[in-house]
């Protein structure tokens, strides 16, 4: 906000003088009618002192302190004149104003300080930026907060200038209190929404830095909402391009890893997936820590998937604890061989096989589910259907009855090409009978799969899994 014109100041001053006469004066220091009004003492001492050539030091701090006190006066004219004199002092008083702003708890004073700081910062910004980009000593606030992550080079300085221009409130908050960081982060979020970042526009590099810098502060917790924003934006192309940059890549990845280690558990599933995609070792540490927190079934399976890709054979002992868990985490859409469900215990068995470099088909799964990046794709696990043994007379009589009808249940349910859609709520009695039969056959195969998986666990007792 630009400072007021002389005409405006004169108008405001005479209006306040007239009001003072009408209300009985008091505090406005007016003289006789027709004489020039006299400003209050705390404003007059500074207003009558030339600004040019004043030393920057104790004298400046004292004068700025008096003027800042005037910003919370109960008289409008005093507040206006104090603002004008702070504008006249120029950028030299910015450090003092910023410290005062952080300590202020007066609404009027804080609002005026925000406007004054913003205006003074813009006055000399371009000259300071030119000096900074030429390698001179930094006069840009909080440059060390970025330098400690990325070091100092021409391209890093250009990145900081872009950050300074796009998210100045965030830069100003760096190194401040948790409340100040929260306010700065809120401004970043508002700015991203204004630009339509996500639905209409891809994020810039400085957007990612603006979000990550406060979230890596050990004394600040942004919360799940900001962790979710970061996780979503990191999935977009600019982030992937950023991490591959020869200069920015390594420190950017360290910053992401720091954020991951502090991320909220409610988005841990997305974080682990990203760690796998980007082949970040932090994924294993997070997965092992998350297992101790009794995660929900989906997150539990993502942890096991991460361990299967980044862990060692010794980690199979941890996964064996989940081998008998019947919780369903994925339901197939078909009635036939490719149908069925995936249970937590299935994911544990497949992960144990992967840790031992054993194909999942060798322990009994019907199809491969290995993946070079994710270890295993647990949604692709297929538990086969064992053919029931025909050992009793009653079984033979039942089979003969099926043959007389011209329909063999074994042949029908074990058809490799059977992709009959599963439509809950519209199942015929025959389809329900098929599902029950399939479930029994898969359970028999599932017991064998888990037994074979337990044989791969180092020093683990081969406990026979129970049917659920």
Residue 27, pLDDT score = 39
Residue of higher predicted confidence among 395 and 259: 259
Query: How far, in Å, CA of 454 to CA of 83, rounded?
Result: 76
Q: Which residue has the tokens 């909220």?
A: 264
Query: How far, in Å, CA of 360 to CA of 303, rounded?
Result: 18
Query: How far, in Å, CA of 178 to CA of 169, rounded?
Result: 14
Q: Is residue 29 scored above 90 in pLDDT? A: no
Mean pLDDT, residues 400-405: 43
Note the pLDDT tens digit of each residue in 60-88: 889 999 999 999 999 999 999 999 999 88
The answer to which of 78-87, 109-118, 325-334, 372-381 has the lowest mean pLDDT is 325-334
| Cβ-contact 43, 85 below 8 angstroms | yes
The answer to which of 279-283, 392-396, 432-436 has the lowest mean pLDDT is 392-396
Residue 433, pLDDT score = 82
Sequence-separated (6 or more) residues with CB below 8 Å from residue 400: none
Number of Cβ within 10 Å of residue 277's Cβ equals 14
Q: Is residue 233 scored above 90 in pLDDT? A: yes
Alpha-helical (H) ranges within 406-463 are 409-413, 429-455
Query: How far, in Å, CA of 293 to CA of 265, rounded?
Result: 9
Model confidence at 408, pLDDT cuts 50, 70, 90, reads: very low
Q: Is residue 407 scored above 90 in pLDDT? A: no
Query: How far, in Å, CA of 85 to CA of 44, rounded?
Result: 10
Model confidence at 137, pLDDT cuts 50, 70, 90, reads: confident
Residue 37, pLDDT score = 38
The answer to which of 21-30, 48-57, 452-461 has the lowest mean pLDDT is 21-30
Q: Is residue 3 scored above 90 in pLDDT? A: no
Residue 464, pLDDT score = 46
Q: Is residue 104 scored above 50 in pLDDT? A: yes
Select the highest-mean-pLDDT range: 2-6, 11-15, 117-121, 180-184. Answer: 180-184
Q: How does DSSP assign 117-154, residue by residue?
A: HHHHHHHHHHHHHHHHHTTPPP-STTHHHHHHHH---H
Give the largest Cα separation in the chain, rounded. Answer: 125
Residue 30, pLDDT score = 36
Note the pLDDT tens digit of each residue in 304-351: 999 999 999 999 999 999 999 999 999 877 656 666 789 999 999 999
Query: How far, in Å, CA of 178 to CA of 275, rounded?
Result: 27
Phi, psi angle pair for 57, to nearest 5°:
175, -140
Q: Is residue 219 scored above 80 in pLDDT? A: yes
Q: Is residue 411 scored above 80 in pLDDT? A: no
Q: Which residue has the tokens 């009618």?
A: 33
Q: What is the reported pTM? A: 0.68
Mean pLDDT, residues 22-46: 38
Query: Would you put residue 24 in left (φ > 0), alpha (ψ -120 to 50) or beta?
Result: left
Q: Is residue 13 scored above 60 in pLDDT? A: no
Q: Is residue 50 scored above 90 in pLDDT? A: no
Residue of higher predicted confidence among 36 and 55: 55
């Amino acid at each position: 906000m630009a400072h007021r014109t002389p005409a405006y100041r004169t108008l405001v001053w005479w209006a306040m003088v007239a009001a003072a006469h009408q209300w009985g004066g008091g505090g406005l220091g007016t003289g006789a009618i027709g004489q020039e009004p006299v400003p209050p003492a705390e404003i007059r001492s500074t207003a009558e002192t030339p600004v040019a050539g004043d030393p920057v030091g104790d004298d400046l701090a004292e004068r700025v302190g008096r003027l800042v006190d005037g910003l919370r006066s109960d008289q409008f004219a005093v507040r206006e004149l104090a603002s004008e004199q702070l504008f006249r002092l120029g950028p030299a008083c910015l450090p003092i104003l910023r410290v005062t702003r952080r300590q202020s708890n007066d609404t009027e004073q804080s609002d005026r300080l925000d406007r004054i700081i913003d205006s003074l910062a813009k006055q000399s910004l371009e000259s300071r930026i030119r000096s900074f980009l030429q390698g001179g000593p930094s006069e840009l606030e909080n440059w060390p907060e970025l330098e400690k992550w990325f070091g100092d080079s021409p391209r890093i300085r250009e990145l900081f200038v872009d950050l300074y221009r796009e998210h100045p409130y965030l830069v100003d908050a760096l190194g401040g209190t948790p409340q100040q960081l929260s306010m700065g982060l809120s401004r970043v979020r508002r700015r991203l929404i204004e630009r339509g970042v996500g639905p209409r526009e891809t994020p810039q590099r400085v957007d990612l830095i603006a979000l990550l810098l406060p979230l890596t502060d050990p004394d600040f917790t942004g919360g799940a909402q900001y962790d979710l924003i970061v996780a979503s934006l990191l999935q977009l192309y600019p982030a992937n391009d950023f991490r591959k940059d020869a200069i920015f890549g390594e420190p950017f990845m360290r910053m992401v890893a720091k954020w991951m280690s502090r991320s909220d558990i409610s988005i841990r599933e997305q974080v682990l997936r990203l760690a796998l995609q980007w082949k970040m070792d932090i994924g294993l540490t997070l997965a092992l820590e998350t297992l101790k927190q009794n995660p929900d079934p989906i997150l539990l399976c993502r942890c096991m998937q991460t361990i299967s890709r980044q862990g060692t054979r010794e980690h199979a002992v941890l996964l064996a604890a989940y081998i008998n868990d019947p919780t369903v985490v994925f339901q197939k859409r078909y009635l036939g061989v490719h149908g069925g469900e995936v249970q937590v215990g299935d994911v544990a068995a497949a992960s144990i096989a992967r840790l031992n470099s054993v194909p999942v088909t060798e322990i009994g799964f019907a199809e491969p589910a290995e993946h070079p990046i994710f270890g295993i794709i647990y949604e692709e696990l297929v538990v086969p259907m064992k053919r029931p043994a025909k050992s009793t007379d009653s079984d033979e009589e039942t089979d003969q009855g099926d043959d007389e009808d011209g329909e063999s249940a074994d042949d029908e349910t074990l058809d490799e090409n059977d992709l009959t859609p599963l439509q809950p709520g519209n199942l015929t009695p025959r389809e329900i009978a098929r599902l029950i039969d399939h479930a029994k056959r898969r359970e028999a195969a599932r017991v064998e799969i888990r037994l074979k998986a337990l044989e791969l666990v180092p020093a683990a007792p081969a406990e026979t899994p129970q049917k659920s």
